[in-house]
Amino acid sequence: MKKVLGFLRSMRFGMLLLVLIALLSILGTVIPQEQTLEAYQAAYGRGAYAIMAVGLDHLYSTWYYIGLYILLGVSLLFCSVLRFGRVKRAKGALLQAAERAEPLQGFRAADPGAVLGRHRFRRCGEGYLRNGLGLYGSFITHLAMLLMLAACACVFALEVKTDYAVMVGDEVTLEDGTVLHVDDFAMESEGKLDYVSTVTAVLPDQTVQSGTLRVNEPKRFGRYKVYQQSYAYAGQLDIRTAADAKDERVTLDSAAFISLDGARGVSYMGSYGSYIRTADGDVLPPGFGDQQGEPVDAYMIAVLDGENQEARLQPVDETFEVAGVYYTFRSPMAYPGLRVKTIPAPVMPALYASFALLLAGLYLCFFHVPVAASVRGDGVALKSPKDIEALEDALRGQSETTRTE
Amino acid sequence: MLNTLFLLPVILYFVASALQISALVFKKDVLKKLALIVLAASVAIHTAYIVARGVAAGRVPMSNQFEFANAFAWGVAVLGLFFRLRYRDTMQWMVTLCAPIAFLIISYAAQQPREISELMPALRSSWFVLHIGSAVFSYAGFALAAGIGVRYLVIEKKAEEKTLKQMDRLAYKFIAFGFLMLTVVIISGMIWAEQAWSTFWSWDPKEVWALITWIVYAVYLHNYLRMKWRGGRMAWFAIIAFIAVMFTFVGVNKLMSGLHSYA
């Protein structure tokens, strides 16, 4: 049991896990993820079955890949939290080691304490200590990694994301009764391409909040965070049941058959973007032949009128009649795709705390080298877990200055 | 005008490299001094180019392969020049490293399309500068560490122990600095991704290769700090690890598609 624990907290085990994670990750970038069997067959032939069998098609969610992170968490737990006692004693141990260390050769000063003070050493018990916080750098770094792994696991396991395509003027009701109403959507802001949704939210307690969503600017409404995630175009069709009747606007976000009697009408297949209307009135794809003309939005439709069936490109703003019903397609309307996300409250602060701790820990590890000093008469002995040759040279130089003075 | 301003540092980095190598071959101190002056001039003009391009683009110019490679070369030159001037007695050889590395990287940049394009909406974020800026200095630190590794292996047999130790320590310092900066890159990228794409991590090839690079250097640092590995094998380590950096920067963009394909 002791041997197992020793292995789990050893650096070699941690390194082994990191190397395995790196190697598997390389595999995950070489083999495209989340593809169909047909796509793998096309790329790897019979190897496709092996890829699917061992889960290399979704490597990052396989049990063995996640398992490596769990083991890494265990390793971090052993080399951080469970070593807290040793970390607590580190300062005392370093000062004691300095007392036992050989004196620094070439250093002589009438007042060694003053020289050490000029080099940012502080009195600590019987000895002197410089950059004492650096002793905790490694501990803080590993603790931060552990916290980050735990917080990331919570994020992946507990966050709930749902995508909604909402037309301008429409609304969507979320799980707890919050209503999101899309007031406006624009694809340009200050003359630049942008995706901007103006949203009003009515929370369950009837509080009304509104805000503007951009790609990099999600907004929080109650317990939801709402993102400007995507956009799409919907067809717009005005329908009149008689020549002098009032138009009724229909929004089409997918293929549909529009008919009064269920037999004769218009089959809508989708928006086809900008086409070119020639001088003859024909609607052609841009660059078709050498035709020149004005760009015009067009839809692909099929007109079903009894025996007659005709598929065609239908330009906007042209009215046509099928079985006594008048149809006029209008320019497509852009609408936003909103992503609504929830994460349990404590997870995000924990994750951000782990980020800050990690950076602080690394800084202390690398650039805040702890050094203990012990004064012996007119000499000093130094001890540090890291290379301190530059400091030793500087102290020797200082010692000469002191003698000159 | 901007193109001319860009070509000047390309030429000057080459001249600084040639002068420094000539100084080593002919053992002439005056050439070394000249190389340092040319390098300093090159950094100044390069800085002016980056500022001018930033003004013309109306943003920080680090958004595509050209702009990043250009900033990367600048980062290498700035870091190298800083160390050369800060430790003028012991690091005269720094020009031998940073001028050729900066020249190679800016030459790569010169082969990329240089048009100024508008930032796509996802890149218009306050995290942009921190994320890409820290990547510039991270990669520059790793590049200089790899350069030191090459120099170490070249002079290993004839150099004094003290010089080798100094280079070993300096390579470690560059890698520690690069590693800290790479951590900033990854963390700022995660926070930014959460704002832009609603998720901290998408397993995008660029993200995964940044993680792989981070792991490679984490292994280096553990071996240096805990296992007390020193000398030739750490020099090899710094050189080989830099392949991961270059693959993250160039290879991922050329060979893999993903959320960072624009970069």
Q: Are residues B207 and B77 in the same domain?
A: no
User: Which residue, of A278, A311, A333, is where some domain finishes?
Assistant: A333
Q: How many domains does chain A have?
A: 4
CA atoms within 13 A on the CB side of B63: 21
User: Which residue, of A56, A75, A94, is where some domain finishes?
Assistant: A75
Q: Are residues B139 and B235 in the same domain?
A: yes
- With respect to residue A34, please indicate whether it lies within any of the assigned structural domains: yes
Q: A–B: how many Cβ contacts below 8 A? A: 93
3-state secondary structure of B55: helix
- Would you place residue A289 in the very low, low, confident or very high pLDDT band (cuts 50, 70, 90)? low
Q: Are residues A259 and A324 in the same domain?
A: yes
Which chain B residue shows the shortest CA-CA distance from A218? B195
- With respect to residue B202, please indicate whether it lies within any of the assigned structural domains: yes
Q: Are residues A35 and A101 in the same domain?
A: no
Q: Are residues A238 and A320 in the same domain?
A: yes
Parts of chain B with a pLDDT under 50: none
The pLDDT of residue A127 is 94
Q: How many other C-beta atoms are found inside a 10 Å radius of the C-beta of residue A83?
A: 16
**Mean pLDDT value across residues A8-36:** 94
User: Which residue, of A50, A75, A100, is where some domain finishes?
Assistant: A75
Q: How many domains does chain B have?
A: 2
Q: Which of B125, B165, B215 sits opposite A18 (nearest CB)?
A: B215
Q: Are residues A206 and A248 in the same domain?
A: no
Q: Are residues A176 and A223 in the same domain?
A: yes
What tens digit of pLDDT does each residue of A190-217 get?
A: 888 899 999 999 999 999 999 999 999 9
- With respect to residue A96, please indicate whether it lies within any of the assigned structural domains: yes
Q: Are residues B95 and B128 in the same domain?
A: no
Residues of B with a Cβ under 8 Å from any A Cβ are: 118, 120-122, 124-125, 127, 165, 169, 173, 176-177, 179-180, 183-184, 187, 190-192, 195-201, 203, 205, 208-209, 211-212, 215-216, 218-219, 221-222, 225-227, 252, 256
What tens digit of pLDDT does each residue of B116-135 get?
A: 988 888 899 999 999 999 99
- With respect to residue A106, please indicate whether it lies within any of the assigned structural domains: yes
Taking 70 as the threshold, does the pLDDT of residue A128 lie above it?
Answer: yes
Taking 70 as the threshold, does the pLDDT of residue A34 lie above it?
Answer: yes
Contact B217, B179 (CB under 8 A): yes
Q: Are residues B133 and B107 in the same domain?
A: no
What tens digit of pLDDT does each residue of A253-285 get?
A: 889 999 988 889 999 998 877 777 777 777 777
Return the residue in A29, A140, A142, A342 with the most chain B beta carbons within 10 A, the one to mutate for interface testing: A29
| Residue contact B225–A192, C-beta within 8 A | no
Q: Are residues B75 and B149 in the same domain?
A: no
Taking 90 as the threshold, does the pLDDT of residue A290 lie above it?
Answer: no
Alpha helices in A46-204 (DSSP H): 47-53, 63-79, 84-88, 90-100, 112-118, 137-158
Average pLDDT over all residues of chain A: 90
- With respect to residue B15, please indicate whether it lies within any of the assigned structural domains: yes
What are the tokens at A309?
A: 């069936």
- With respect to residue B8, please indicate whether it lies within any of the assigned structural domains: yes
Contact list, B199 vs chain A (CB under 8 Å): 161
- Would you place residue A306 in the very low, low, confident or very high pLDDT band (cuts 50, 70, 90)? confident
- With respect to residue A353, please indicate whether it lies within any of the assigned structural domains: no
Q: Are residues A239 and A323 in the same domain?
A: yes
The pLDDT of residue B262 is 60
Query: Which is higher by pLDDT, A362 or A278?
Result: A362
Q: Are residues A312 and A224 in the same domain?
A: no
Taking 60 as the threshold, does the pLDDT of residue A369 lie above it?
Answer: yes
State the nearest Cα–Cα gap between A11 and chain B, in angstroms.
8
Please name the residue that has the structure tokens 């595999």. Answer: A27
Q: Are residues B132 and B60 in the same domain?
A: no
Q: Are residues A210 and A249 in the same domain?
A: no
CA distance linking residue A359 with residue A364, whole number of Å: 9
Q: Are residues A388 and A329 in the same domain?
A: no
Angle at B184 between CA B180 and CA B186, to 5 degrees: 115
Q: Are residues B134 and B262 in the same domain?
A: yes
- With respect to residue B245, please indicate whether it lies within any of the assigned structural domains: yes
- With respect to residue A148, please indicate whether it lies within any of the assigned structural domains: no
**Mean pLDDT value across residues A124-133:** 94
User: Which residue, of B112, B142, B168, is where some domain finishes?
Assistant: B112
| Residue contact A366–B180, C-beta within 8 A | yes
Task: State which residues form the domain around B151.
Answer: 123-263
Query: Which is higher by pLDDT, A403 or A175?
Result: A175
Q: Are residues B192 and B97 in the same domain?
A: no
- With respect to residue B118, please indicate whether it lies within any of the assigned structural domains: no
Q: Are residues B13 and B72 in the same domain?
A: yes
CA atoms within 13 A on the CB side of A282: 9
**Mean pLDDT value across residues A275-299:** 75
- With respect to residue B154, please indicate whether it lies within any of the assigned structural domains: yes
ipTM field: 0.94
Q: Are residues B77 and B142 in the same domain?
A: no
Percentage of chain A beyond pLDDT 70 is 97
Closest-CA residue to B172 (of B109, B222, B125): B222
Task: State which residues form the domain around A327.
Answer: 234-333
The pLDDT of residue A276 is 79
Percentage of chain A beyond pLDDT 90 is 68
- With respect to residue B16, please indicate whether it lies within any of the assigned structural domains: yes
Q: Are residues A229 and A168 in the same domain?
A: yes
- With respect to residue A140, please indicate whether it lies within any of the assigned structural domains: no
The pLDDT of residue A5 is 83
- With respect to residue A329, please indicate whether it lies within any of the assigned structural domains: yes
User: Which residue, of B89, B112, B135, is where some domain finishes?
Assistant: B112
Q: Are residues B51 and B84 in the same domain?
A: yes
Contact A213, A197 (CB under 8 A): yes
Contact list, A387 vs chain B (CB under 8 Å): 169
φ, ψ at B61 (rounded to 5°):
-85, 75
Taking 60 as the threshold, does the pLDDT of residue A111 lie above it?
Answer: yes
Q: Are residues A87 and A68 in the same domain?
A: no
Return the residue in A61, A69, A148, A366 with the most chain B beta carbons within 10 A, the one to mutate for interface testing: A366
Q: Are residues B129 and B103 in the same domain?
A: no
**Mean pLDDT value across residues A303-332:** 90
The pLDDT of residue A399 is 65
- With respect to residue A155, please indicate whether it lies within any of the assigned structural domains: no
What are the tokens at A174?
A: 């979320």
